[in-house]
Amino acid sequence: MTDVPHAGHVLRYPYLWARQAGQGETEGRKPRPCAVILALSSGKGQTELRLCAITTQPPRRETHAVEVPEIEKRRAGLDSSVALWVIVDEHNLDVFEQSFYIEPQSMLGAFSSTFTKELQTAMIVALRQRKSNAVRRRD
């Protein structure tokens, strides 16, 4: 991928769940669709990405998640025949320009700006409630 991802982009990415990282794992078990919730540029020419996993597993009651509407699934290049959720109470932090995990052809599509703002708002709520876990993919 040569273009820097922006908020709302959906990538295939080897997401590392917080529970796996807590057990000492360092690599995501499989590539999965992930939404770029925030893309922050530093003054050093680097872009920090906050990526949230997209899953077919219904979230547990205590999990902060947003269900993906059918039209958004199609926009993002996702399977519209299954229920999907974006998990916003944990995320992976990765620096695009240094990432070992973002492949050149990993872009699947993008969510609308309206749905992206909904995801960002949900993540902010989780962060403010101190119920969001960040997994740094590179030190």
Give the tens place of pLDDT for each residue, 100-118: 899 888 999 999 999 999 9
What's the pLDDT score for residue 82?
97
How far apart (Å, rounded) are the C-alpha atoms in residues 90 and 3? 25
Q: Is the pLDDT of residue 127 over 70?
A: yes
Burial 80-114 (b: 16+ CB within 10 A, else e): eeeebbbbbbbbbebbbeebebbeeebbbbbbeee
How far apart (Å, rounded) are the C-alpha atoms in residues 41 and 23? 31
Element (H, E) at 70: helix 70-75
Give the tens place of pLDDT for each residue, 42-93: 878 899 999 999 999 999 988 889 999 999 999 999 999 999 999 999 999 9
Measured on CA atoms in the order 42, 45, 48, 54, is the torsion positive or negative?
Answer: positive
Q: How does residue 13 score in pLDDT terms, banded at 50, 70 and 90? A: very high
Pairing of strands 133-136, 90-95: parallel
Give the tens place of pLDDT for each residue, 32-45: 999 999 999 987 88
Domain boundaries, the chain: 32-136
Residues constituting the chain: 139
